[in-house]
């Protein structure tokens, strides 16, 4: 999986994504760059569609911070088992 910041989007697309998506700057987890909010803020869902779909397909957890859902708890800042 690509790390946040390396999704390969042009500056214009990144600006659009940044305007639409918000990440959780209060998350102090060492793996925050792998959380959906951080990845989506960086445009991961546009540049790595199949990896993104695998992360959210058959979701088992809900983030108590942003409301996103994911298959694995490690993809969210504050996961809650569904």
5: in domain? no
DSSP state of 59: -
33: in domain? yes
Quick check: helix, strand or coil at residue 9? coil
Range of the domain at 40: 11-81
2: in domain? no
pTM for the structure as a whole: 0.69
Average pLDDT over the chain, rounded to whole?
81
Token reading at 63: 């983030």
pLDDT at 23: 65
- What's the total number of domains in the chain? 1
Check pLDDT > 80 for residue 8.
no
Q: How far is 71 from 61, CA to CA, in rounded Å?
A: 6
3: in domain? no
Kindly tell me the sign of the dihedral angle through the C-alpha atoms of 12, 52, 8, 79. Answer: positive
Pick the range with the lowest mean pLDDT from 1-10, 16-25, 63-72.
1-10
Q: What is the mean pLDDT of residues 31-45?
A: 87
């Amino acid at each position: 999986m690509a790390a946040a910041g390396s999704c390969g989007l042009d500056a214009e697309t990144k600006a659009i994504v940044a305007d639409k998506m918000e990440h959780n700057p209060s998350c102090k987890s060492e793996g925050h760059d792998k959380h959906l909010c951080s990845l989506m803020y960086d445009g991961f869902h546009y540049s790595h569609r199949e990896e993104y779909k695998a992360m959210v397909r058959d979701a088992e957890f809900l983030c108590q911070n942003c409301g996103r859902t994911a298959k694995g708890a490690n993809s969210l800042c504050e996961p809650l088992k569904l």
